[in-house]
Amino acid sequence: MVCTANDISAWKDFPKGLRVLLLDEDSNSAAEIKSKLEAMDYIVYTFCNQNEALSAVSSRPESFHVAIVEVSTSNNNGSFKFLETAKDLPTVMTSNIHCISTMMKCIALGAVEFLRKPLSEDKLRNIWQHVVHKAFNAAGKDLSESLKPGKESVFSMLHLQMENGIPMNEDSDKTEDASVVHEIDREPSPGSDKYPAPSTPQLKQGERLLDDGDCQEHTNCSTEKESGEQDGESKSVETTSGNAIAEVTAPIGQPQGSRVSDVKGVADLVDGNKGESTVHSHPQNRVNRKDSQASAEKPSTVSGLHSSCLNKANRKKLKVDWTHELHKKFVQAVDQLGVDQAIPSRILELMKVEGLTRHNVASHLQQKYRMHRRHILPKEDDPRWPQRDQTQRSCYPHKPIMAFPPYHSNHVVPVGPLYPMWGAPPHPANIQMWGSPGYPPWQPTESWHWKPYPGFQADAWGCPVMHPPPGYCSAFTQNASGFHCSSTMDNRSGMPHNSVEHQPAEEVIDKVVKEAINKPWLPLPLGLKPPSTEGVLAELSRQGISAVPPHINGSNP
């Protein structure tokens, strides 16, 4: 069937001699194409009859490297059948018609590209790319996931080839399609000497969610720019091939990369029954909607056929796009776990999101957290500040509440509810709420920390703390000897502050106190004004601390 990477690297004048199967019922068109191809030293086998072509492919698949198949309104099915039959043969579909769905279907069924007729020489000239792509793609697979080696070998191979100065297509690069050559070429360039390939730890997880990355750019766009809308389509695509081990990922340009992205779109479009896909066919079915659950189970989705082609799609780097849904899961997980357990790995588990890595989660977690904190508190957090060191702030028996950080500006919810976080009794349902966009900047201040009491106060990322929890204050007063938090605070906020006043867990109090002590500059949620410096100093001295430790701008440990 197709040649291997090795074959190619050993191929003399590479594209020359490439055997092209041409199937076009329009003999004129066929002849034209053929002559063009031959002018480029391709070896063309023309078929005007599908059956013949099919049998040829079936009987001697090794005879062709690439196929160009015309699809017309009349031979639709036949063409598709060809795709099905010649899965291993990189097949370029071509047609006079270019309805998006047809194109998509072709791609979905495994076509490497869809070209609109007439086929320009440039387009024809570059069909070899698909052969290369396939070859290396396969190579990558063989090499298993030892990406690096695979990658490198690929590079080296290509380099050999390239550097030998292949006269082939002087202009290939300007093709619409990503030029494989270039892509690859520039990869190692940064320093062919420096091999230290970027380790991609996250790949290890195997399945990865991927986002469209940039592949779609190359897509069948080659057909025309007109495919603007299509972009939209493919955008929302995803490859839920789940378990599929992340093979490849080699930064190798994917000439027809489209595939990956198109798949889903097509699936929906073509035969709609894509199982889960439908589910999220919602508006924001953004990019990576790797569904939590076994998305893997159906590698052979769309039509059962081309499946092999599909899952073959290689994922690239793919960044994790923390969409709402994703974040929702995240938060949910965190909530479920509780502060003390909200560690990346667990969160990850709970999220059950394919392809997410601990790192991703950790990073997300940390960054959000940190971010907020930083935002709220001045950098200088003098560690030496007199504070009882309650190290056991670790776990509150209660569940922490985490809301959604105001990131991804698209806060979906107008925070009507005061409890946009989970576990918040008032609105248990509003799980996926985000913090209110417009809450006063200082509000989140203390709302950052885990909520000390369930159902008590909003206390989470970006959560508007509508009611200054009196509890805070009382707790505060009780322990924070150093601060004058008049115990007379009002309880006007009809909150169940009592619960707190009863007998807050020490840890909680400690935590609060600690917090307050640590960050005296923070506006108190109580509407009280922060203690004046003088006051603090005075208190300190009263406690035997005569001088305030020098400020060492926190940052450095």
Partner DNA sequence: CTGTTAATAT
Partner DNA sequence: TATATTAACA
* Contacts to DNA by CB under 7 A: 198-202, 317-322, 343-346, 358-360, 362-367, 369-371, 407-409, 555
C-beta of 106 vs 287, nearer to DNA? 287
**CB-based contacts of 404, cutoff 8 Å, min separation 6:** 327, 328, 331, 411, 420, 432, 433, 434, 435, 460, 461, 462
Nearest distance in Å: CB 334, DNA: 11
Nearest distance in Å: CB 45, DNA: 43
Tally Cβ neighbours within 10 Å of residue 157: 19
C-beta of 110 vs 213, nearer to DNA? 213
Nearest distance in Å: CB 249, DNA: 10
User: CA-CA distance, 310 to 259, in Å (whole number)?
Assistant: 7
3-state secondary structure 98-140: CCHHHHHHHHHCCCCEEEECCCCHHHHHCCHHHHHHHHHHHHH
Dihedral sign from CA coordinates of 191, 196, 202, 204: positive
Nearest distance in Å: CB 328, DNA: 13
CA distances from residue 11 to 4, 128, 164, 208, 337 in whole angstroms, order as listed: 10, 12, 11, 34, 57
Nearest distance in Å: CB 123, DNA: 29
Nearest distance in Å: CB 323, DNA: 8
Give me 154's structure tokens. Answer: 């690929």
**CB-based contacts of 529, cutoff 8 Å, min separation 6:** none
C-beta of 202 vs 219, nearer to DNA? 202
Nearest distance in Å: CB 326, DNA: 8
User: CA-CA distance, 432 to 454, in Å (whole number)?
Assistant: 17
C-beta of 365 vs 517, nearer to DNA? 365
Sheet of 66-70, strand order: 43-47, 19-23, 66-70, 91-95, 113-116
C-beta of 82 vs 407, nearer to DNA? 407
C-beta of 51 vs 345, nearer to DNA? 345
C-beta of 111 vs 415, nearer to DNA? 415
